[in-house]
């Protein structure tokens, strides 16, 4: 589907935070579209192609309940970014690479510290400069953590667990990752030689685009109890890392888009947009993609674990004490470009469904069996990064998230393309403007900061307000940026 404005799409208001695209809108829609947005966000996306993509996803074989979009929705490849779709493998359900995205298991992790910001404010320039020098970032960037072909296979199979075994973290880090930092069923034999080549030297690298490492300070607490469980308090310094599977995951997606395009014809699957290339979950093509996708997801968890290890090392170097004494414990790590099999009640029956989360974060509520014991009572930490000039959030999932198949938004959501963002910033200095707000920013690429300036994004405060009021996830704490490095 080309990125062009679509005809007026009828929207039925369900309540102040839910809007429906009826199945009558487009031939072939098997379920309605469901958009989570308030009036202001809806006005901003009303004529955006992303709403057409919501309707298109609703035509996928085996889709259950609704084609959903979170309030950070924007145009993507096939699926909108901010899209959620569940398909039933036992009802001809399909798996779609476009429903996961190119950066498989792009995700975010949040780490606490024992520092109060006023204790280290005078050292921030040194800290950010050292992070920028020591943590590889940028397009095609490579790092110092190289793996042999045998070790790369272990990365694909064991994810964050491999990194911890190599000494790049501790067992508690794995416990505080979604899926404990790896998915079973990864099949390295389904990945291409090109994908493996691209992944051999990119562990422990941020990459480019919207990926970042950010030093933050907690500036608001909404839920004292949940914040206490996470070890968060006002004025505290935190570290947020946003990265994914780098070139390895990109190549996996590229490889299987061609495979699934051919599967459309082979299995007589009709879709309104070829970017929704899909294969039945139980087909050889579907199983091959799942095996390769899980390898990339595990690679991403290993990558973020390596990045945390490097960040801990920088804090040790700057502050001349061990990271354990600094209190750099991982709060949680969540994926937001992934497909996973989870159990939900549909029409009164328990079903195992394939949940596509494309720019959407898992948000399990309290007492879910997959949560670590530490978070069983309060629900899963849901980490929502904002932009360099505003703030980010940590929330917890609620039982209300069952409506969205345990999913929430994943960030602020872009408002303009990177090219448009660079054009808007012509003659201005993002670094200087951020410094005036108290944020020290360093970017590797020529336009790294311009592409990601705050005006390129929706206001994350408004996006989070929607998911909070809709009952999908509940605010716990807000963090404002004080230092950031980008590719």
Q: How far apart are CA 72 and CA 92, in angstroms?
A: 30
For tokens 């679509």, the residue is 6
Q: How far apart are CA 51 and CA 49, in angstroms?
A: 5
3-state secondary structure at position 355: strand
- Residue 121 CB contacts under 8 Å (≥ 6 apart), including other chains: 482
Q: Which of 353, 358, 361 is nearest to 335 (CA)?
A: 361
Q: How far apart are CA 2 and CA 360, in angstroms?
A: 23
Q: What is the pLDDT of residue 487?
A: 78
Catalytic residue among 410, 447, 453, 469: 410
Q: What is the pLDDT of residue 7?
A: 52
Q: What token pair was written down for 380? A: 């899963």
Q: Which of 410, 363, 412 is nearest to 387 (CA)?
A: 412
Q: What is the pLDDT of residue 228?
A: 98
Q: Report if pTM > 0.85.
A: yes
Start-to-end Cα distance in the chain:
29
Q: Are 86 and 356 in contact (CB under 8 A)?
A: yes
Per DSSP bridges, beta strands 236-243 and 12-15 are unpaired
Q: Are 160 and 301 in contact (CB under 8 A)?
A: yes
| Residue-level pLDDT, tens digit, the chain, 487 residues | 444 444 589 999 999 999 999 999 999 999 999 999 999 999 999 888 999 999 999 999 999 999 999 999 999 999 999 999 999 999 999 999 999 999 999 999 999 999 999 999 999 999 999 999 999 987 766 677 888 899 999 999 999 999 999 999 999 999 999 999 999 999 999 999 999 999 988 999 999 888 999 999 999 999 999 999 999 999 999 999 999 999 999 999 999 999 999 999 999 999 999 999 999 999 999 999 999 999 999 999 999 999 999 999 999 999 999 999 999 999 999 999 999 999 999 999 999 999 999 999 999 999 999 999 999 999 999 999 999 889 999 999 999 889 999 999 999 988 888 888 888 888 788 888 899 999 999 988 767 888 887 788 889 999 999 999 999 999 999 999 999 999 7
Task: Spell out the domains of the chain, with CATH numbers in brackets.
Answer: 12-91+105-486 (3.90.1860.10)
Q: What is the pLDDT of residue 2?
A: 41
- Told to judge if 410 belongs to the known catalytic residues of this protein, a careful annotator would answer yes
Q: What is the pLDDT of residue 140?
A: 67
Q: How far apart are CA 487 and CA 485, in angstroms?
A: 7
Q: Which of 76, 84, 73, 137 is nearest to 102 (CA)?
A: 76
**Cβ count within 10 A of residue 125:** 11
User: pLDDT tens digits, residue range 169-182?
Assistant: 999 999 999 999 99
**Cβ count within 10 A of residue 57:** 32
For 137, 195, 378, the CA distances from 26, given in Å and listed in that order, are: 43, 37, 41
Distance of CA 24 to the CA centre of its chain: 32
Q: What is the pLDDT of residue 209?
A: 82
Q: What is the pLDDT of residue 318?
A: 98
């Amino acid at each position: 589907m080309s990125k062009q404005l679509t005809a007026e799409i009828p929207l039925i208001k369900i309540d102040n935070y839910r809007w429906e695209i009826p199945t009558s809108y487009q031939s072939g829609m098997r379920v309605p579209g469901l958009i989570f947005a308030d009036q202001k966000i809806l006005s901003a996306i009303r004529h955006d192609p992303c709403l057409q993509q919501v309707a298109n996803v609703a035509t996928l074989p085996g889709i259950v309940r609704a084609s959903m979009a979170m309030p950070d929705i924007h145009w993507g490849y096939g699926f909108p970014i901010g899209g959620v779709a569940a398909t039933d493998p036992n009802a001809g359900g399909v798996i779609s690479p476009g429903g996961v995205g190119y950066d498989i298991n792009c995700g975010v992790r949040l780490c606490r510290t024992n520092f109060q910001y006023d204790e280290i404010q005078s050292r921030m320039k040194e800290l950010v400069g050292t992070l920028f020098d020591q943590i590889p970032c940028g397009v095609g960037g490579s790092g110092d953590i190289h793996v042999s072909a045998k070790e790369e296979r272990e990365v694909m199979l064991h994810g964050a667990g491999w990194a911890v075994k190599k000494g790049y973290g501790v067992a508690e880090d794995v416990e505080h990752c979604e899926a404990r930092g790896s998915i079973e069923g990864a099949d390295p034999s389904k990945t291409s030689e090109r994908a493996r080549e691209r992944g051999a030297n990119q562990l422990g690298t941020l990459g480019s685009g919207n990926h970042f490492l950010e030093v933050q300070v907690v500036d608001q607490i909404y839920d004292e109890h949940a914040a206490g469980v996470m070890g968060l308090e006002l004025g505290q310094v935190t570290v947020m890392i946003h990265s994914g599977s780098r070139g390895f995951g990109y190549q996996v997606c590229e490889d299987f888009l061609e495979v699934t395009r051919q599967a459309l014809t082979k299995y007589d699957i009709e879709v309104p947009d070829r970017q929704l290339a899909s294969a039945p979950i139980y087909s050889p093509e579907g199983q091959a993609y799942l095996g390769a996708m899980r390898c990339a997801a595990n690679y991403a968890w290993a990558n973020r674990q390596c990045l945390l290890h490097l960040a801990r090392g920088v804090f040790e170097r700057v502050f001349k004490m061990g990271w354990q004494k600094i209190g750099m414990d991982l709060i949680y790590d969540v994926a937001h470009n992934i497909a996973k099999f989870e159990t939900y009640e549909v029409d009164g029956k328990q079903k195992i469904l394939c949940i596509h989360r494309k720019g959407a974060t898992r948000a399990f509520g309290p007492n879910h069996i997959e949560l670590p014991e530490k978070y069983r009572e309060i629900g899963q930490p849901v980490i929502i990064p904002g932009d360099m000039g505003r703030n980010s959030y940590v929330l917890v999932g609620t039982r209300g998230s069952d409506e969205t198949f345990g999913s929430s938004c994943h960030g602020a959501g872009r408002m303009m393309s990177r090219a448009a963002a660079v054009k808007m910033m012509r003659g201005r200095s993002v670094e200087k403007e951020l410094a005036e707000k108290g944020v020290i920013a360093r970017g590797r690429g020529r336009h790294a900061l311009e592409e990601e300036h705050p005006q390129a994004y929706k206001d994350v405060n408004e996006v989070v307000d929607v998911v909070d009021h809709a009952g999908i996830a509940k605010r716990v704490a807000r963090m404002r940026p004080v230092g950031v490095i980008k590719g």
